[in-house]
Amino acid sequence: MDNKLNELSKPVAWTWHAYGLQHATTEEDERDELIADGVENSPLYSQEYVSALLAELEAKDKR
């Protein structure tokens, strides 16, 4: 994974469910609190990162 792709691999936000609602944050501190409280959360990645991964996979498939 090149340096740019490695940098893009960091989540841009996190989501979690509480009280029947879905919540989201872009703050790592808030995500760390969720983890400390045992709340399951899901990372969200940028479209640029997802597109780069798909392009890399497609290139490997062509080899």
pLDDT, tens only, 12-47: 999 999 888 999 999 999 999 989 999 999 999 999
Count: domains in the chain:
1
- Residues in CB range of 42: below 8 A, 6 or more apart: 14, 15, 16
Identify the residue whose tokens are 């990372």: 43
Using the predicted structure, report yes or no on whether residue 60 has a pLDDT greater than 60: yes
CA separation for the pair 10, 60 (Å, rounded): 23
CA separation for the pair 13, 24 (Å, rounded): 7
Using the predicted structure, report yes or no on whether residue 3 has a pLDDT greater than 90: no
Using the predicted structure, report yes or no on whether residue 1 has a pLDDT greater than 80: no
Summarize the confidence of residues 3-18 as an average pLDDT. 91
Q: Domain range spanning residue 34?
A: 3-62
DSSP 8-state code for residue 10 = S
Q: Which pTM was predicted?
A: 0.75
- Please name the helix (run of DSSP H) or strand (run of DSSP E) that holds residue 15, with its range, or none: strand 13-18
